[in-house]
Structure 1
């Protein structure tokens, strides 16, 4: 547990490494506002097992999304305040709030059903389903009371139904009396229109102002022009009073119904909060998976010492999209305790420094990192950094003093295994004194067992790194021809600041540049020329290595392609040959039957002809037509790969085929087309009696298809495919989940179904299965 000063150091370091900005980028991939807020509030985890779990969970989601699409959360909206209100037992939710709860319960239901339907290859997602409590009973109660627009149903309760029936009866009597009044010939000159309407929930008719003396009544309103008045005749006043009384009863009954519904919701408040948290958490981690897919991020290998971040791209540079981000390898071997990065300004020193600290923080937040496979990261639990300008004019703190104060606070808390990042160590003061202080700081950090990465321009500090085996020099590459940084890191070589080259590029006179180079060589004892020569050679070697790697990768890809095409060609020919043999076997069997019946005389032995055909084909292909695959046991549960269907092995034939039963249908399949799921009794049938079966190209049918979140142009092909598969597979019905939304997707799908030749009938789902949010289709029977 942190004390306050340590917490401040860690928090300031985390902010300096820009993890809040990365969280904003990830949060943009959340489907809901609560999911987005959950990402933004993420904190680096301190338990290593939790970090591993987070990364594994994101990996499962990333794979699932790539294969089967994303989770959608249509009813996931901020509900904290609504649910907190339920703490007050006097609170009664209104129809809009109850409908919002109903939408949330629907989202909970569809999410839970999908999680439970996942294959065993997604164990963490399947386990997440256990955190969600089914609440269909409460949603069922809500749907019995409210329709999809939030209006109270007439049959919401027996009492309400009885009140509305009575109200309807009284209103019918009022209308009939008023109709007789407006149609009375004696009153025709004062009746403005044959028009009955409501004012203040009371039935009135429209008369001329001079109606007085001809009809007794109460004036409720005047038209804008003043030419008409809305009058309630006295002979319907009592009936209108009855309607008003019944409406009061109705309001009381609806309040009672809402109070009862609120009570049921209140009793399940904890379960709703639990389910809400589970959905928000799932959305937040799906955002991580979607971000990983968009940025081509990977889960790193977690190690205990050092780091090797390969092909790293800073997430905020990726987000800027201003130019292509150059990948860099940021490496500190386990035996290296400090890394000194030097080189030209704007060459990538600080980016490399930040990547060394940012990527472990991302991993601890469950976020994959934009790097290459093989990246290895220590998830440092304490990262302390001094990055950026520390000058405070008002506080009379110079830039140098600010850095020293920050480093002092780091030394107050640093311990073995911590990661310390120091930008421009020893800068903002006299170079000799700054170098001496920087070397002393590195000595102390190494002595305390901390891992350190620093950036510098100080020559003495580069020499310090050369003199120690546990400190490594790294430079940012500077192209000798273009005189610009390449943003690549060169290891085991100190970098030059290239101040003279930069000044020359910016146009200082040649005489000044020449004099500067002379002063530089004399002060460095000619070492600058030697370093430049070494750097050029190293750069040439690096370029050659990259070229060889690219050529090797290209050759390997070509070789893999040739092998793949060869295998595909052989496999295609083999399958064609097998099909030809099957046809030949059938023809020969027919011929044998004809011979036995006496319709044909015996000629050349048919089986010998078949054998000769088989031998010729095998010699031509250079591979057996049938692979030697051990048949499964009778009773084994198997999956036929080509059909995507599971069944039970009923019989094993002599020709390398087996009979597999799906319900009432038996399919004959090759043993090489089978995946054994569960072994049977081990008894193999040797009977040559053939059951009547068929080779049916089953589709892989779905009982339901979810198109929520799809545009109409994308949704219609998915519906068409599912409908075709349902008909081919003999499904009695198909459920299309399209949600309510604006209603446009629902209307487009139903219009399409109305014209589809394979549709016998379709209708909305019942309230328990989604109501107007789903359409249940009855396909035609084959």
Structure 2
């Protein structure tokens, strides 16, 4: 999809891109922002929008920010030459870029591991494997400050160590020589320096004939000559040899690093492109923060519904902008806005048009969450004075010419914006033409937003099916614009009021009012009354919205407090039950006292208020046939998450692992792992309504381990409100069964127990009923 340049220019789309580019940290990112265009198709737009939503969540969660990185287009072109060797500055730039790219990929991966809410962004980074050899080589050989490390190669390390040793040797020799021959007063500085890569002494020029040596250069003032004493000549000659060795080794390292990068050039380019993409995405996030914007998806079946929309450029310029709702109802394709001059009609048109272009480019827009746009792919805007004296074209002619040029391409994916269409000719003919154009545009399936002063077009908007009328509002007393749209009504043009406000003589205005009365067209009183009623209605609606928001916030706080109190209550009840059982096990209370205490705890649990209808809804059970070993599930009776350890399809049961505790569970007791945990009250009510037993499998355990698991199982069954417990101990020698029965006989919570019928396991299973 390619939009006309005149539409982009009329809606000032390029200015938005310049604002966006200011938030980038790189020159490449800024260039990418300025080249940003509406997405070429619905799939590309959906992907770009999803990527922006992921980037916003990732940025907010991790706080990741990019540092400045240089443009590398010239480096990539230079590398296309097979014999080209990059200099240290270019390699340092590559190192900085690749280091940031790795940090970016790591941030996305680590954030996804903890939050996991940006699949599109994760997929993008996974499709960009880093050139690991180049990253490793550059970080090993090039330091943070852009120097070649000594450890880049053994030969380079040896050469530099020898150069440093020579430096120390020269320093000692110069110091000894100066003290021996008492020449410190000959020197401008007591330290030696380098000239032409040779160690020299800064000798005062008037003493140059008193010492034997070679003069290499003079200072700019001529007062100092750089003098090489004869005892340093041999050392300097050796230094030159070492410098040549150092340069040769540095060249080898640079060649090696260049070959590494050239060998992974595709990956290096991809890493750079990923970094530029991230720079643009973070710039979009910053743009959204600048005008408190949201992401609006454009999908088929949606209607135009921009909530609290503001003109992007006015907001970014720092102006106080009155939000406006721009909306069409179901089955409506045309919005006709009328009302006084300087009331906000054109701004509303430009706001809708520019927000549409930004949404088509996957940019955040200054509109409230919940806003929506249809699946438009093309926008045509006819706004402003398009006349051209050079081409002998009037405004009216220019509009007709441009509309005729795009007419055949109009369809249901097109938005057409018309500002005062037909106003440049005879009013009657212009109004008739405007109505006909709107009819035909809607017949093509296009959507239209138009502004007009024509009375005939105002009546058309109120009477034509599929068209919605709106009026810009003015304050009834001050006659100042409120920059708000009132729907399903029309507004007066108020040309006289605007003229009066801008200084036109009163005599002219009175004469104009007389002409209106003579023509019988003064409807200002009626329209003013309609405007006043609309203003009152909007203020009442604003008050109701504020009241609704206040009650919504209050309800949210009450629900949060209720949830906290409910959780605290059930934790207390659970702790009481556990305390009673511990006291009985420790022999602190008798059998009857334990039963009485547990009964009181149960009464406390059963008298709690019923849960809300939403919480009482039974969670969806899982299908045993679909479960696999290691799959997470939720065990409703215990209110805990578990992992599938074994599946028994024949008996439709599952062996689950709950933090090291293994038991067999019926399918009806399991729910998907993301199911909402039920409260203890709802669990008790569910269980008490059904005598389905809880199962505890002790087979294969030693007696002491089995009794420990049995004790835990009994406790958990009591806490869950179970009336029946099924203990699977197996037949075997019968020793484990005896131990289990001995424990059950002395437990105060057990009413009766017996071996199961043969069809339920026979003497390999014991059925327990609680008091």
TM-score, with structure 1 as normaliser = 0.72
CA contact (8 A) 1:337 1:471 kept: yes
- 1:523-559 deviation line (CA, Å, top 9, x unaligned): 3567554444444444444444444444344334333
Q: Which residue number in structure 2 is paired with residue 39 of structure 1?
A: 33
Q: 1:126 to 1:646 in 2, by over 3 A?
A: farther
Q: Which residue number in structure 1 is paired with residue 317 of structure 2?
A: 320
Q: 1:263 to 1:691 in 2, by over 3 A?
A: farther
Q: 1:188 to 1:411 in 2, by over 3 A?
A: closer
Distance 1:488 1:590 in 2: 75
Matched, 1:15 2:34: no
Q: Which residue number in structure 2 is paired with residue 341 of structure 1?
A: 337
Equivalent position SS for 2:151:
coil
Distance 2:206 2:369 in 1: 92
Q: Which of the residues 109, 129, 138 maps onto 1:116?
A: 109
Q: 1:377 to 1:610 in 2, by over 3 A?
A: same
Matched, 1:303 2:300: yes
Distance 2:19 2:710 in 1: 61
Structure 1 residues without counterparts, runs of 5 or longer: 593-601, 652-656, 663-671, 694-782
Farther-moved stretch of structure 1 (504-513 vs 239-248): 504-513
Shift of 1:622: 5.1
- In our comparison, the structure showing a higher alpha carbon Rg is 2
Shift of 1:44: 0.6
- 1:427-464 deviation line (CA, Å, top 9, x unaligned): 23332343243334334434544333221112232234
CA contact (8 A) 1:27 1:287 kept: yes
Q: Which of the residues 611, 615, 636 maps onto 2:598?
A: 611
Matched, 1:498 2:505: no
Q: 1:213 to 1:677 in 2, by over 3 A?
A: same
Shift of 1:105: 1.3
Distance 1:208 1:484 in 2: 83
Distance 1:659 1:413 in 2: 63
CA contact (8 A) 1:302 1:378 kept: yes
Distance 2:551 2:186 in 1: 99
Q: Which residue number in structure 2 is paired with residue 689 of structure 1?
A: 708
Q: Which residue number in structure 1 is paired with residue 42 of structure 2?
A: 48
Distance 1:367 1:336 in 2: 26
Matches within 5 A, 1:179-578: 179-184=175-180, 195-205=191-201, 216-221=212-217, 230-294=226-290, 295-300=292-297, 302-304=299-301, 307-323=304-320, 325-333=321-329, 335-411=331-407, 414=410, 417-503=413-499, 516-517=512-513, 519-520=515-516, 523-524=519-520, 528-578=524-574
Q: 1:584 to 1:223 in 2, by over 3 A?
A: farther
Distance 1:359 1:514 in 2: 42
Matched, 1:94 2:87: yes
Shift of 1:187: 7.9
CA contact (8 A) 1:647 1:661 kept: no
Q: 1:523 to 1:546 in 2, by over 3 A?
A: farther
Distance 1:372 1:326 in 2: 13
Equivalent position SS for 1:74:
coil
Matched, 1:660 2:659: yes
Structure 2 residues without counterparts, runs of 5 or longer: 647-655, 662-668, 676-693, 699-705, 713-771
Matches within 5 A, 1:638-653: none
Distance 1:133 1:65 in 2: 21
Distance 1:102 1:605 in 2: 77
Q: 1:589 to 1:394 in 2, by over 3 A?
A: same
CA contact (8 A) 2:213 2:228 kept: yes
Distance 2:219 2:458 in 1: 93
- 1:727-770 deviation line (CA, Å, top 9, x unaligned): xxxxxxxxxxxxxxxxxxxxxxxxxxxxxxxxxxxxxxxxxxxx
Equivalent position SS for 2:381:
strand
Shift of 1:477: 1.9
Shift of 1:207: 6.2
- 1:624-678 deviation line (CA, Å, top 9, x unaligned): 9xx99999999775899xxxx9997999xxxxx996269xxxxxxxxx9x99489
Shift of 1:352: 1.9
Q: 1:27 to 1:577 in 2, by over 3 A?
A: farther
Q: Which residue number in structure 1 is paired with residue 748 of structure 2?
A: none
CA contact (8 A) 1:570 1:621 kept: no
Farther-moved stretch of structure 1 (447-456 vs 203-212): 203-212
- 1:485-519 deviation line (CA, Å, top 9, x unaligned): 22222233222101233345567788876665564
Q: 1:260 to 1:373 in 2, by over 3 A?
A: closer
Equivalent position SS for 2:468:
strand
Q: 1:346 to 1:201 in 2, by over 3 A?
A: same
Q: 1:309 to 1:591 in 2, by over 3 A?
A: same
Shift of 1:132: 1.5
Equivalent position SS for 2:708:
coil
Q: 1:168 to 1:289 in 2, by over 3 A?
A: closer
Q: 1:587 to 1:20 in 2, by over 3 A?
A: farther
CA contact (8 A) 1:206 1:229 kept: yes
Corresponding residue pairs, total: 652
Distance 1:152 1:222 in 2: 32
Shift of 1:381: 1.9
Equivalent position SS for 2:152:
coil
Query: What's the Cα RMSD here?
Result: 4.3
Q: 1:511 to 1:85 in 2, by over 3 A?
A: closer
Shift of 1:110: 1.4
Distance 1:104 1:460 in 2: 63
Farther-moved stretch of structure 1 (314-323 vs 434-443): 434-443
Matched, 1:84 2:77: yes
Q: 1:524 to 1:574 in 2, by over 3 A?
A: farther
Shift of 1:342: 1.3
Distance 1:189 1:58 in 2: 71
